[in-house]
Structure 1
Amino acid sequence: MAIANYTDLKASVVDWMARSDLTGNAADFITLAEARLNRLLEVVATTANLTGVSSSNVVSIASLQVVDPVSLYLTAFEKEYFVPQSALGTFYEQNTPNLPNNWAIEGSNIRFDCPLDIPYPIRFTYQGRFALSDAVPTNEFLTNNPDLYLAAAMVWGCGYVKDQAGNTWKAMLDEFTAEVRSNNAQKKRSQLRTDPMLRRRGYNYTTDIST
């Protein structure tokens, strides 16, 4: 079974446990698994599909675990429009409903520079904590590491039913987590750039001139 989203992950947990009576518990296992992932791993790139409210210039993101917003797109007339982010208070707010030109984060809301003239579909991308839900069905980490996500949830599932297989899943979880952390560290090292001053050939530390 492919694990592409939150629904797939819940179904896979139930399938691997061979316990159809735990269908309603799978969401809890995933939530508990994500609590551990949030402690061990960095923020994850996530896309949330939201819907604006006509005649309102705010959209709630209280249910999202946003750390850093990245981008926002509105869909209108079958086209996506990029809306740039600005700092709160740096743009003029209009009273006439329209297609917005700016947005900012205000507490647990996205605030536009004008009320929306229609309930625009919104694609909001951000760096955030692990927190899958029906509203946020997938993230970059689940796409790239479905095995780790499943193992993390299965540890809690096995613990719930007191299944000794939980030890096997825990071993896999620890192994997969170590691999991901190692890969992330390697990516960071590869992105480092040496200061150009340190690459100057023949640098004379006494006279501070190139020779």
Structure 2
Amino acid sequence: MPLQSYSDLQASMGRWLKRPDLQGLFPDFITLAEQNFDRKIKTRSRRARYSITPTTNRIALPSDWGRVISAEFDSKPLGFFPASTDARMIAFGYQIKGNSLFLTVPQLGTRLSLEYYVVIEPLSTSNSSNWLLQDAPDIYLWGALAEAADYIRDDTSQQKWLARRDQAISDFIDDDSEAKTPEDQPLNMRAS
């Protein structure tokens, strides 16, 4: 049976675990796995762009933002400064506080462009699929099984599922990187 939906994933977990008593916890295991995916998977599928011409120095970040990759104002790169930095010390940059970006620039009214990673949209009964489940269902299955094995304190199974999850994530990221390189291009070596 293919893993195309939230219910397919839960059904597959049931077959792999052979523990019907845990079925009510499957959503928790999936949620915990998704938290790990959000921290580890940074691929083209997660990238998004947001552009705005701000009229104030405080800009609400997009609802799906997870992490800013780069920011440009008037086509010039903006520097990032931690929230603890005194804004008066910033000549041309930004800070993130909560779900807002605070911009320090000489003059407003020019285009701000953000490239960012979106949060992986969590699976649920109302959201039965997302791009990651469609592109890499094995990552979801191994990740959720690892969380289940941790719950039942089955260290041997947990190590096996973690290894499979991590290998699947690594392969997925490598495949994403390889997709950026033309297939028939020879590599040229240069002497240093």
TM-score for both structures, normalised by structure 2: 0.54
Task: Give the aligned partner of residue 127 of structure 2.
Answer: 136
* Deviation at residue 128 of structure 1 after TM alignment: 4.1
Structure 1 gap ranges (5+): 47-64, 69-126, 191-211
The 1:44/1:186 distance shift into structure 2, 3 A limit, reads closer
Q: Could you tell me whether the CA contact under 8 Å between 1:43 and 1:128 is conserved in 2?
A: no
Task: Give the aligned partner of residue 148 of structure 1.
Answer: 139
Following the alignment from structure 1 to structure 2, what is the Cα–Cα distance between the partners of residues 22 and 44?
35
1:186-197 aligned at under 5 Å gives the runs 186-190=178-182
Q: Could you tell me whether the CA contact under 8 Å between 1:13 and 1:150 is conserved in 2?
A: yes
Task: Give the aligned partner of residue 157 of structure 2.
Answer: 165
Following the alignment from structure 1 to structure 2, what is the Cα–Cα distance between the partners of residues 179 and 157?
23
* Deviation at residue 136 of structure 1 after TM alignment: 1.2
Alignment RMSD? 2.9
TM-score for both structures, normalised by structure 1: 0.50
Runs of 4+ in 1 over 4 A off after TM superposition: 43-46
The 1:44/1:28 distance shift into structure 2, 3 A limit, reads farther
Task: Give the aligned partner of residue 4 of structure 1.
Answer: 4
* Deviation at residue 43 of structure 1 after TM alignment: 6.7
Per the alignment, in what secondary structure is the counterpart of residue 165 of structure 1? helix
* Deviation at residue 16 of structure 1 after TM alignment: 0.7
Structure 2 gap ranges (5+): 47-62, 67-117, 183-192
What amino acid is the match of 1:175? Q
Answering whether residue 58 of structure 2 is matched by residue 67 of structure 1, we say no
Following the alignment from structure 1 to structure 2, what is the Cα–Cα distance between the partners of residues 181 and 161?
30
Highest CA radius of gyration, 1 or 2?
1
What amino acid is the match of 1:39? R
Identity of aligned residues (%): 30
Following the alignment from structure 1 to structure 2, what is the Cα–Cα distance between the partners of residues 15 and 36?
23
Task: Give the aligned partner of residue 15 of structure 1.
Answer: 15
Count how many residue pairs are aligned between Structure 1 and Structure 2: 118
Following the alignment from structure 1 to structure 2, what is the Cα–Cα distance between the partners of residues 142 and 41?
13
